């Protein structure tokens, strides 16, 4: 959960997740919709699917116990070198250098490593530095300390250099260039895509959601509103795709949702169904309202519109 997401946001999700899925066995046996529902609001849903797959492998291959060597951990879906090393050092008290975002920043400043940390040559330098400073003793304490040091003292903005215990060793401070390390990712423009969300209401104030069963895409396996291209005819699209008669009743101002690699401009259209169409198991349709909980994982912009337009 902490990959790409800050601790403060993760904590309530983590607590609820562990309450429902306290062991790899419990997670491996869980329904995907249930897991994604617990993940709703965190984004990057591939992490949840990877976690489920990893739990199933751990149960099938390792008897429900996480393996205790780097190669085996890295073979699990979603576990990179740094995450696997953190599990080894914190969970198994083994020496294993890590390189998460906070540690990259600390090392880049301490040794004045120039360049963007995502660049291969820069990352190799930082891994070498991480390995060099990781002691053979107390790996659990050291790993947690170096991560917390970056999170609380050597922060991205306004680092607490005046209270830092490493001022005499910090090359970036000696150069009076702490703010220059690490260097930012080279600027690049994100492409913009557009989609029309069809927010279909029935006479009971429920909204129609569909299961996104595409094999690829950021919202794979989540429950979303029917979508068509902005140039399509919405009633005709709903009729031909879902056999649903609906007429537009209101437009909603467009808004932008940003992913890591592109912007999505969402154009919502509110429609009223001529009748309360039945749910369709083949097409995975569900009518949802305040009295009927959402069926599984729901992306943030869908949650936003659902809260705004479903009847209380």
* CATH architecture of the domain covering 192-309: Alpha-Beta Complex (3.90)
Q: Report the pLDDT value the prediction gives residue 283, as an integer from 0 to 100.
A: 53
Report the alpha-carbon distance of residue 25 to residue 227 in Å, rounded. Answer: 36
Q: Extract the tokens encoding 28.
A: 């491996």
Highest mean pLDDT among 30-34, 52-56, 250-254: 52-56
Report the alpha-carbon distance of residue 303 to residue 224 in Å, rounded. Answer: 9
Q: What mean pLDDT is predicted for residues 236-254?
A: 92
Q: Flag whether pLDDT at 21 surpasses 70.
A: yes
Query: pLDDT tens across 159-202, in order?
Result: 999 999 999 999 999 999 999 999 998 888 899 999 999 999 99
Give me the CATH topology for the region 97-188. Answer: Endonuclease Iii, domain 2 (1.10.1670)
* H helix or E strand, kind and range, residue 57: helix 46-62
Q: In whole numbers, what is the pLDDT of the chain averaged over residues?
A: 91
**In this predicted model, which residue has the larger pLDDT, 229 or 67?**
67
For 100-163, the three-class secondary structure string (H helix, E strand, C coil) is CHHHHHHHHHHCCCCCCCCCHHHHHHHHHHHHHHCCCCCHHHHHHHHHHHHHHCCCCCCCCHHH
Query: pLDDT tens across 76-119, in order?
Result: 999 999 999 999 999 999 999 999 999 999 999 999 999 999 99
User: Are the beta carbons of 278 and 256 closer than 8 angstroms?
Assistant: no
Confidence of residue 312 (pLDDT cuts 50, 70, 90): low
Q: Where do the structural domains in the chain lie, given as residue ranges?
A: 97-188, 192-309
Q: Report the pLDDT value the prediction gives residue 281, as an integer from 0 to 100.
A: 46
Query: How many contiguous H segments (helices) and E segments (strands) does the chain have?
Result: 13, 8
Q: What mean pLDDT is predicted for residues 226-237?
A: 91
CA 258, 39, 1, 12 dihedral sign is positive
Q: Report the pLDDT value the prediction gives residue 294, as an integer from 0 to 100.
A: 78
Report the alpha-carbon distance of residue 285 to residue 223 in Å, rounded. Answer: 9
Q: In this structure, what DSSP letter does residue 179 have?
A: G
Percentage above 70 pLDDT, the chain = 95
Q: Taking phi first (over 0 means left), then psi (-120 to 50 degrees means alpha), and beta for anything else, what does residue 49 get?
A: alpha
Report the alpha-carbon distance of residue 10 to residue 277 in Å, rounded. Answer: 38
**In this predicted model, which residue has the larger pLDDT, 204 or 148?**
148
Query: pLDDT tens across 270-282, in order?
Result: 999 976 555 554 4
């Amino acid at each position: 959960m902490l990959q790409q997401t800050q601790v403060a946001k993760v904590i309530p999700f983590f607590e609820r997740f562990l309450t429902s899925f306290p062991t790899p066995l419990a997670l491996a046996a869980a329904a995907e919709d249930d897991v994604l529902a617990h993940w709703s609001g965190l984004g990057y849903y591939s992490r949840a699917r990877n976690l489920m797959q990893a739990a199933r492998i751990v149960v099938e291959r390792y008897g429900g116990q996480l393996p205790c060597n780097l190669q085996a951990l890295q073979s699990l879906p979603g576990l990179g070198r740094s995450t696997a090393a953190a599990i080894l050092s914190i969970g198994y008290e083994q020496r294993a250098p890590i390189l998460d975002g906070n540690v990259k920043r600390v090392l880049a400043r301490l040794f004045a490593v120039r360049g963007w940390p995502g660049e291969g040559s820069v990352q190799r330098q930082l891994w070498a530095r991480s390995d060099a400073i990781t002691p053979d003793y107390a790996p659990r304490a050291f790993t947690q300390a170096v991560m917390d040091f970056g999170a609380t003292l050597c922060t991205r903005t306004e680092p607490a250099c005046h209270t830092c215990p490493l001022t005499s060793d910090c090359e970036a401070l000696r150069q009076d260039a702490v703010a220059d390390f690490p260097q930012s990712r080279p600027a690049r423009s994100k492409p913009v895509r557009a989609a029309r969300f069809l927010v279909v209401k029935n006479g009971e104030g429920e909204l129609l959601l569909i299961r996104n069963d595409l094999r690829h895409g950021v919202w794979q396996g989540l429950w979303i509103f029917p979508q068509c291209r902005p140039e399509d005819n919405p009633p005709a699209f709903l009729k031909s795709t879902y056999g649903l008669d609906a007429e537009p009743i209101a437009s909603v101002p467009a808004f932008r949702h940003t992913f890591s690699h592109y912007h999505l401009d969402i154009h919502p259209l509110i429609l009223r169904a001529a009748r309360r169409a039945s749910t369709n198991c083949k097409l995975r349709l569900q009518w949802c309202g305040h009295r009927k909980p959402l069926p599984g994982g729901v992306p943030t912009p869908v949650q936003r519109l659902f809260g705004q337009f479903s009847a209380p």
